Amino acid sequence: MGNYSTALEYHEKALALRAESLPPNHPSFAPTYSNIGLVHREMGNYSTALEYHEKALALRAESLPPNHPSFAPTYSNIGLVHREMGNYSTALEYHQKAHAIQVELLPPNHPSLALSYSHIGLVHHEMGNYSTALEYHQKAHAIQVELLPPNHPSLALSYSHIGLVHHEMGNYERALEYHEKALALHAESLPANHPSFAPTYSNIGLVHHEMGNYERALEYHEKALALRAESLPANHPNLAPTYSNIGLVHHALGDYSTALEYHEKALALRAESLPPNHPSLAPSYSNIGLVHYETGNYQTALESYEKALAIQAESLPSNHPSLAIPYTNIGVVHHEMGNYQTALEYHQKAHAIQVELLPPNHPSLALSYSNIGLVHHVLGDYSTALEYHEKALAIQAESLPPNHPSLDRPYTNIGLVHREMGNYETALEYHEKALALRAESLPPKHPSLAASYSNIGLVHDAMGNYQTALEYHEKELALQAESLPPKHPSLARTYSKIGLVHREMGNYSTALEYHEKALALQAEYLAPNHPSLAVSYLNIGLVHDAMGNYQTALEYQGKALALQAESLPPNHPSLAGLYTNIGLAHHALGDYSTALEYSEKALVIYIQALPGICISLVGTYIRMSFALECMGVLEKAFHYRRRAITTWEQLDYSEACRFFEYFERFGTVFRKDGKHGNILQFCRITEDGAKKCELNGYFRTKREWLLGRL
């Protein structure tokens, strides 16, 4: 019933009694040491547990022959502790020792062999060796099928183990099939309110969660909770995982306040019944952090993740794979806060632990490569980002079946980098691969399909295929409307994307309508200072800018700036983008000195926050030169134009090509002031640079296009 302190007290009394009447090396001490070790393992005191199991082993080694059957459970207990500590190779070694003794002494179909096969399977599961894990669980199951009656509860456990491996392999239908077999066995052999139903309901709920069947998932987790609440005291820690599972489903449904409520219930239960450094507290802090992250409370999220890290650092060895999780979470928050170097540092810490402990093709390594790649992406270091995402893809392609839905992540990330590099056809190819995988492995209404539609739409938008982009974003919206609750945050993001395409197409009233829908939805579920509101304000401002309503545009961009300045560090690149847009509106209003001031603010951020040479610097230098020329400060204007040219000449091929996109964004503004000599001069001066970059044909075409727009 979770009364570990009481259990420990009784085992220690038994130990004291034996110590009074027996010599210290008497074999009778061994079972008591084992029992004390088992309780310490449940309490998360893994080092102490190991100490007691090793005492039991030493006593038995002193008094028994080396192949005595009593060694097998002792080796197993030591293996179980090492598995909890993340020492998977050592755990495997001990379980194999136990298995070797049993193979030598027992008939090949003995039930104890089934247990050792299960233990070995569980370690391989943790190591990401899913095929090997499946093989061992099937061996265990074969023994049980031969020896046990067809409705024996132990068969249900082996069905569950096989189902969990299929879950990890992305075979959700197979996983569901095995968990439902386990459920059918329970229903046949146990009363309807038996606690053994609860883990099976939870497993079925977890698979439905992965399949995007959130309502079904919730139904099963609530069944599990009802059963556990009936059979356990109200403060039992085993209720906590069910609260967590329910919280995670509400999170997926975008119901963040309910999600937080359940995660806080889970934390309160664990905090009441477990020691303050118990590893089980860490997932609760992580889940709470995740909700705060989604709602834009980055500082609170960081605090929760740091609490999780502190607990795990105190209770686990310094290289335990579980430490990689809080390092990753902390890295993700720093990424959002614009602390890219700090984010990189945490992702590299997570990666270092995983490299040391996990086999080289473990899926967790793929995740850390992806996270490192995402930071390099936002830093504009696209070639390095691509390298990391391709490493992630190589690992997953080796360790997972070819249709596993997790492969969609590296395909998507590679596609996103190629879009940034202007390799639109390649980007499209990767996003279509991701879509094909999702369509094959997920139900037709799964929200992840919407993400693929979104990415394909964004590439078509970048290619100028606005009608096709609109079609994909409308598919995305239709799927979300069917599969998500009507106020889910994802709908707001889709409204924004549709609004952006309509702005590109010149449908300004429609664009405004969609951006206002996005803002209205966000205002309902987000805190009034959430950074996502800033994006909606900015989008509305950009539409007003395009309509020539510069004063209204400035008003919305000012709102966006106030929000982002409150929630982001002062050198975050998003602030630079806002300064740029505000500067352009001031330029259009003829307020050139203010326009220059905002461009200078943007320049400071780009130099501080982004590495080396980037396209944003080229655009900023050009805007500064235009403002200075309009102010009549010609010598300084020419200085910044030359800096733009020398910077542009240092860009790689794809970035140099993308330089022309800047004119798309602010060419209209500069036509209004009648001073076009600056652009003409820039085109003439940079023609030599174009030859140097092997852009001659491309450059000539773009130059003609640009001059034709003036």
Return the HEC string of 193-252.
Answer: CCCCHHHHHHHHHHHHHHCCCHHHHHHHHHHHHHHHHHHCCCCCCCHHHHHHHHHHHHHH
The pLDDT tens digits of the residues spanning 659-707 come to 555 444 444 334 334 444 444 444 444 444 444 334 344 344 433 433 3
Distances (CA, A) of 562 to 84, 542, 566: 47, 16, 6
Distance CA 72, CA 95 (A): 8
Residue, of 231 and 305, whose pLDDT is higher: 305
| pLDDT band at 658; cut points 50, 70, 90 | low
Q: Which of residues 510 and 404 earns the better pLDDT score?
A: 510
- Flag whether 629 is in a domain: yes
Measured distance CA(108)–CA(196) in Å, rounded: 28
- How many Å apart are CA 236 and CA 703, to the nearest integer? 72
pLDDT of residue 431: 97
Higher pLDDT, 619 or 285: 285
The verdict on residue 626 lying in a domain is yes
Which alpha helices (H) appear in 64-129, and where do they start and end? Answer: 71-84, 88-105, 111-126
Token pair belonging to 7: 């259990």
Q: For the segment 551-600, what is each residue's pLDDT rounded down to a tens digit? A: 999 999 999 999 988 877 788 888 999 999 999 999 999 999 999 999 99
- pLDDT, position 656: 52
Q: How many domains does the chain have?
A: 1
- Report the pLDDT value the prediction gives residue 674, as an integer from 0 to 100: 41
**Residue 668's pLDDT is what?**
38
Maximum distance among all Cα pairs of the chain, rounded to whole angstroms: 104
Q: How far is CA 684 from CA 62, 154, 406, 669, 704, in A?
A: 90, 80, 49, 21, 11
Q: Does residue 92 surpass a pLDDT of 70?
A: yes
* pLDDT the model gives residue 684: 43
Whole-number pLDDT of residue 321:
79
Q: Please tell me the predicted confidence (pLDDT) of residue 690.
A: 41
Q: What is the pLDDT of residue 158?
A: 94
Residue at 692 is within a domain = yes
Question: Does residue 619 lie in a domain region?
Answer: yes
Looking at residues 376-383, what average pLDDT do you find? 86
Any idea which of 26-35, 91-100, 609-618 has the lowest mean pLDDT? 609-618
| C-beta separation of 626 from 669 below 8 A | no
How far apart are alpha carbons 458 and 455 in whole angstroms? 5
**Using 50, 70 and 90 to split pLDDT, how confident is the model at 652?**
low
Of 60-64, 323-327, 641-645, minimum mean pLDDT range = 641-645
Residue 573 lies in a domain: no
Q: How far does the chain reach from its first CA to its final CA, in angstroms?
A: 79
Q: What is the pLDDT of residue 703?
A: 37
Average pLDDT over residues 136-157: 91
Average pLDDT, the chain: 86
Is it the case that residue 90 has pLDDT exceeding 90? yes
CB-based contacts of 333-337 (< 8 A; 24+ apart in sequence):
333/289, 333/293, 333/298, 333/301, 333/302, 333/305, 334/302, 335/374, 335/375, 335/378, 336/293, 336/298, 337/298, 337/568, 337/569, 337/572
Interatomic CA distance for residues 608 and 663, integer angstroms: 24
Q: Is the pLDDT of residue 516 over 90?
A: yes
**Calpha distance 88→95 (Å, rounded):** 10
pLDDT at 701 (0 to 100): 42
pLDDT at 326 > cutoff 90: yes
* CB-CB contact of 405 with 384 (8 Å): no
Residue 669 covered by a domain: yes
Looking at this protein, which amino acid is placed at residue 263?
H
Tally the residues of the chain. 710
Of 50-59, 127-136, 312-321, 511-520, where does the model show the most confidence? Answer: 511-520
Residue 298 included in any domain:
no
Cα distances from 96 to residues 72, 91, 189, 600, in angstroms, run 9, 9, 32, 66
Residue whose C-alpha is closest to residue 33's, from 85, 70, 88, 84: 70
Is 137 strand, coil or helix? helix
Q: Residue 250: left (phi > 0), alpha (psi -120 to 50), or beta?
A: alpha
State the DSSP code for 473.
H
Contact 364, 127 (CB under 8 A): no
Alpha-helix runs per DSSP H in 650-694: 653-658, 661-672, 677-685, 687-692
The lowest-confidence range among 247-251, 417-421, 481-485 is 481-485
- CA dist., res. 317 & res. 264, Å (int): 27
Q: Using 50, 70 and 90 to split pLDDT, how confident is the model at 406?
A: confident
State the CB neighbour count (10 A cutoff) for residue 182: 25
Spatial neighbors of 543 by CB under 8 A, at least 6 apart, are: 499, 503, 508, 511, 512, 515
Cα angle 306, 311, 316 (rounded to 5 degrees) comes to 125
Cα of 13 vs its chain's centroid, Å: 47
Residue 332 vs residue 190, higher pLDDT: 332
Cβ atoms of residues 453 and 479 within 8 Å: yes
Domain of residue 688: give its range.
609-710
Q: What is the pLDDT of residue 308?
A: 95
The whole-number pLDDT of residue 494 equals 96
Higher pLDDT, 499 or 402: 499
Q: What pLDDT does residue 276 have?
A: 85
Task: Categorize the per-residue pLDDT at 613 as very low, low, confident or very high, splitting at 50, 70 and 90.
Answer: low
Note the Cα 678 to chain centre separation in Å.
Answer: 46
Contact call for residues 622 and 682 (beta carbons, < 8 A): yes
Q: Report the alpha-carbon distance of residue 607 to residue 380 in Å, rounded.
A: 12
Helix (H) or strand (E) holding 492: helix 489-504
Higher pLDDT among residues 206 and 666, named by residue: 206
> DSSP states of 142-209 as a string?
HHHHHHS-TT-HHHHHHHHHHHHHHHHTT-HHHHHHHHHHHHHHHHHHS-TT-TTHHHHHHHHHHHHH
Whether residue 666 is contained in a domain is answered as yes
